[in-house]
Structure 1
Amino acid sequence: NPELLGKYTSLDGPYALRIPKDRYEEVKAKFDSLAPEAIYLSDKKIDEIKRGRRRIVYRVRRGDSLYSIARKFGVTVSALKKWNPKTARKKYLHPGDRLVLYVPSKYAGRSYSSRSRGFYYTVKKGDSLYSIARKYRVTVSQLKSWNPKLKKSRYIYPGMKLLIKR
């Protein structure tokens, strides 16, 4: 279940959880012990998805689509539509439109430059290019192409700022 590395599964339809046979009873017992409000069911309101996320207002830029915005902030298009019902009824987005998003905390507080449509990540102790790329769902090659300083030196160090485009 590599798609479960995040905090939530997709809102787009049912999800089949794969559990090894020898762990079934253990997983079932833990699932049964969960509080009912901790389990997302399709008939629950989107407000319950907002927990553990931060509210931001995003201003639409030229070339943006619901898909590109959802991908940039790690949310689904269906969630974007639920959070922005007026926008969901429109055929097109227009530059300057404002969208409310409830984003995972790793995306909140980032400055997204209109030029690069990305943000700067500050390298922490223990980070590697691979771990950073995996965290933001990009490739190491992309990181290197967005950060010319990585072409001169293959080493990163704590405090170094890396551009990550979305």
Structure 2
Amino acid sequence: MPVIYVPQQASKANQSGKKLFYPRVQLTGNVNTDQVAREIAELSSLTTGDVKNVIDNLVTVVARHLRSSESVTLNGFGSFRYTMNRVGEGVETADAVTPTQSKLMVRFTPASKRNTNGTVATRSLVSDVRCVRFDQVTATPGTGSETGGTEPGSGDEDSFG
């Protein structure tokens, strides 16, 4: 199933005074922990409950390490780390800096891997992804979304409203 995108116009004009269009991912749903656990259980010798327990404990352990100012790398998946995004005014001296000047955020960076030709390093979660414009996607029962079609209901109309 492809990643679906829609054109979205920028809210601010560029230097030429034009509001340009850019692609934006169109989500088609959300998968929760229970669904992920079921799918992992189908691929392993573990039960859904075992997998869910591991996921719950993973969140606890990752949070513990992040709170200790450590980054966490899950090989083949990616790295998590805290960042501080500015929300308040800057101050003139280092002694006057406080955490209230920022918002604490978790940054995730997908793991890197080599492409099949072995030359170019890419991020494993975003390589080999096919992107399709929203008006070129059709729903095929039981198989997710596929591209193509010219019949009514095939995706030629604007089904996203």
Q: TM-score range by the shorter chain?
A: under 0.3
The answer to which structure has the higher strand fraction is 2
Q: If the length of structure 2 is used for normalisation, what is the TM-score? A: 0.23
Larger helix proportion of the pair: 1
